[in-house]
Amino acid sequence: MMHLNRLKSLTWNSLKLNEAVIEKDIVINGSGRAVVEKIPAGVIIGNESCKECGGCDLKDSVDIKSICCGMGEEAEAFFAEASRDVLMVHARRGRKVEEPVNIRYFMENGDSNADRVEILAEEGSAITVIMDYSSSKKEAKGFFGVQTKIHVGKHASVHLVKINLLGTQYLSLDDIGVTVDDEGSFNLTQMCL
């Protein structure tokens, strides 16, 4: 059992709108696949073990892993245990990236996967990241969860677009946490179709 969406707001608590409980056990089989399409200039894509990816200017001053997400501590523990690695998207200092970074997740019937994504926009950079989760059949069932942590540097901007096209029987978790430095901006567009 997992408790989600524990926002610390008296209004939301009294309305009982900010909490959900998943009563069934989620078994991750690691199936499904993620594809990063066409990496634009000024962007580095990698994972936790990628030395070049971790070498950004904010690496020592920003602990992106400590960013709190909206689903709370139990979801944080779930994603830390269930996901294989962290996909890192890094926009370099001063780079205004014109083309979006497209991350596509292909999930089929019976797939069960959890991923973590970290987006880091250095000072003066601008980036759009599109995350598209889809399954080929409307009636497909399974589990897909993603935790996305974003840090927006000073005078930087991030536009995150999330598109959920998973089958009608999919259980989907989408946990997001963001920190924004002075004069930075973050925009989120979410579509569940």
Q: What is the pLDDT of residues 125-182, one digit of tens each?
A: 999 999 999 998 999 999 999 999 999 999 999 999 999 999 999 999 999 999 999 9
Interacting residues of 155 by C-beta distance below 8 A, sequence separation 6+: 123, 124, 182, 183, 184
Per the CB < 8 A criterion, the answer to whether 147 and 118 are in contact is no
The rounded distance, in Å, linking the Cα atoms of 143 and 158 is 27
Kindly state whether residue 119 falls inside one of the protein's structural domains. Answer: yes
Q: Is 11 helix (H, G, I), strand (E, B) or coil?
A: helix
Higher-scoring residue by pLDDT: 37, 128? 128
Kindly state whether residue 63 falls inside one of the protein's structural domains. Answer: yes
Tell me the two tokens of residue 72.
Answer: 């709370």
Tell me the two tokens of residue 43.
Answer: 């962007």
Kindly state whether residue 33 falls inside one of the protein's structural domains. Answer: yes
Structural domain count, the chain: 1
The rounded distance, in Å, linking the Cα atoms of 51 and 47 is 9
Q: Does residue 10 register a pLDDT over 70?
A: no
Kindly state whether residue 151 falls inside one of the protein's structural domains. Answer: yes
Whole-model pTM: value is: 0.89
**Type of residue at 35:** V
- Domain limits at 162? 28-192
